[in-house]
Amino acid sequence: MHPTEFERLAAAAYKGERAASRRLAARTGMAEVDALRQTLMQAAGVAGLDALLAARTELRALEQARHAERLQARQARLALKRAAGAPPAGAWRAWFDGSAHPNPGRLGIGALLCGPDGERMEISRQAGHGNSGEAEYLALIALLEAALPLRMTQLVVYGDSKVVIDDVTLVAAAGARGLEAHRARADALLRQLAQSGAVSLRWVPRHRNGEADRLSQQAIAAWTCQVADQADEVNGR
């Protein structure tokens, strides 16, 4: 269907010109299409209305092409980001998390390793006393120790602790204070794992680390139950 004259003029008009034409129509009783035509003729000046319409049609096509290019570029960047976030085919994936209740207090660590052929290994244990940073590091160390005998060719490790991820990957300008011994142990394990394959660590938001968090909380809950049982024994219940 061919556009009507009003549609053709409206497509070429700027927002201010549309508003001016409506005011003109209201003031004079002129038909809206005639008011719009007159407004655009005034904007065209000596070049004429046809030249203005042709120029603005070309400009609109150029803007649409640029918008399409920007959209295509954005989609390409998104695809690259997704590809970078996806583990390589055949890689093992692992998640770790540590909890301190209170902080500092009793530590629980959790980790999950998943293999390309459906392998699954869960770690959930108490880890003494300390703060949340120590809990996160101890969870990572436990995960790496469990992965070492499996001789994986590729391992991608996820954690929601930026402190630990940045510390291990040397993103931070200075190492996290008080965690030097844990960092040295994790670094040693990573070097050993790298002898049999590629290892990478990636930060994920907490909501994408649910299984490891569940396992660390499970360890805390078990500890809480033990403390309650010991208290009952002391009180002779």
Architecture of domain 92-234: 2-Layer Sandwich (3.30)
Q: Which helix (H) or strand (E) holds 101?
A: strand 92-101
pLDDT in tens, the chain (237 residues): 467 999 999 999 999 999 999 999 999 999 999 999 999 999 999 999 999 999 999 999 999 999 998 888 777 766 656 655 677 778 999 999 999 999 999 999 999 999 999 999 999 999 999 999 999 999 999 999 999 999 899 999 999 999 999 998 876 555 678 899 999 999 999 999 998 888 989 999 999 999 999 999 999 998 766 654 554 454 555
Task: Return the ∠ at Cα 63 (arms to 58 and 65), rounded to 5°.
Answer: 95
Distance CA 2, CA 202 (A): 55
3-state SS class at 140: helix
Give the residue among 84, 77, 82, 156 at the shortest CA–CA distance from 116: 156
Tell me, what's the pLDDT at 9?
A: 93
Q: Which residue has the tokens 């299409």?
A: 33
Residue 183 contacts residue 174 (beta carbons within 8 Å): no
* Extents of the domains making up the chain: 5-82, 92-234
Q: Which residue has the tokens 């927002």?
A: 15
Distance CA 166, CA 22 (A): 60
Give the residue among 119, 122, 143, 160 at the shortest CA–CA distance from 199: 143
Tell me, what's the pLDDT at 89?
A: 78
Flag whether the pTM goes above 0.85.
no
DSSP lists the bridge partners of residue 200 as 156
